[in-house]
Amino acid sequence: MKKILLPVVVFAVSLFAYSSAEAIVHVEGRYWFTTLDSKVTVTDAGIIGTEINAADTLGMDKSKNFWEGRIDLNLGSHHLRYAYLPLSWDGHKTLIQSVTFKGATYTASTMVDSKLDIVYQRLGYRYDIIDMLGNQLGIIFDIKLLGINAQLKDPALSLDKSYSLTVPVPTIGVGAQIGLPFLFSIGAEVTGIAYGSNSLLDGEASVNFNPVPFTTISGGYRIFNVEVKDGDNKGSFNLAGPFLMVRMGW
């Protein structure tokens, strides 16, 4: 019996050790200091919409900060990744010019309330071609899902129009890291695609510090640019700014 149990125990311990060393779950929290540049055009029933600047026309805050959560299942050189980033802006402003949004005209000198929500999710796979001595080079395949909702309301006239769009976007990209002395490294990642009048680019660069095993503290800069066209409806969303990140693994 002991002769039978010994190989079983050795196999189980080996499997556990391999899983602990290679199959690590990384959980990541980010705080992003963004600057917004966004324009939206919404047409309805053949009535062409006005190109509306979210900040200048509607008074939405250009500078706003957001949390993001990520999870990465690390299977050696293979990574399965998911990210969730909710974005939201509100505006409250008296119009200095008339605008048309989804078939309705909001006249100049009217006080309007506005809202722009974007839920950005990423589900992807990364394969590291190089992964040694803190240096990495990988290929990334993502499906990015954008849930966009824009709303314009005139409380005085009970005029309330909204437009929603959900867009799945397949992207491809690369990620790299270079190890430095004293537990530091620098990293960069960019993914995107362009087709017709639509495009998406998500890129960042960071400086990383690993004070203890499986824990990383980072600071960097990120850009996120989206151009979407749905018939006569168009939207552009450009975000950029520094971010802070903490990643922990098990």
- Distance, in Å, from the CA atom of 46 to the CA atom of 158, rounded to the nearest integer, reads 23
pTM beyond cutoff 0.85: yes
pLDDT in tens, 229-250: 888 899 999 999 999 999 999 8
Closest CA to 136 of 79, 176, 193: 176
3-state secondary structure at position 142: strand
**Which tokens go with 60?**
């939405």
3-state secondary structure at position 62: coil
pLDDT in tens, 59-90: 999 999 999 999 999 988 999 999 999 999 99
Q: Which pairs count as long-range contacts for 126-131, CB under 8 Å and 24+ apart, including other chains?
A: 126/78, 126/79, 126/81, 126/175, 127/77, 127/78, 127/79, 128/77, 128/78, 128/79, 129/77, 131/76, 131/77
In order of their start, the domains of the chain are 2-243 (2.40.128.90)
pLDDT of amino acid 8: 37
Beta strands in the chain (DSSP E): 23-41, 52-53, 63-75, 78-94, 99-101, 104-106, 111-132, 135-154, 159-179, 184-195, 198-212, 215-230, 233-249
pLDDT of amino acid 45: 79
Q: How many Cβ atoms are within 10 Å of 33's Cβ, its own excluded? A: 15
- Distance, in Å, from the CA atom of 78 to the CA atom of 153, rounded to the nearest integer, reads 47
- Distance, in Å, from the CA atom of 37 to the CA atom of 104, rounded to the nearest integer, reads 24
Q: Please report, in tens digits, the pLDDT of each residue of the chain (250 residues total).
A: 444 444 433 333 333 333 344 549 999 999 999 999 999 999 987 899 999 999 999 999 999 999 999 999 998 899 999 999 999 999 999 999 999 999 999 999 999 999 999 999 999 999 999 999 889 999 999 999 999 999 999 998 889 999 999 999 999 999 999 999 999 999 999 999 999 889 999 999 999 999 998 999 999 999 999 999 888 899 999 999 999 999 999 8
**Which tokens go with 105?**
């005209």
**Which tokens go with 38?**
């966004």
CB 34 within 8 A of CB 241: yes
pLDDT in tens, 136-146: 999 999 999 99
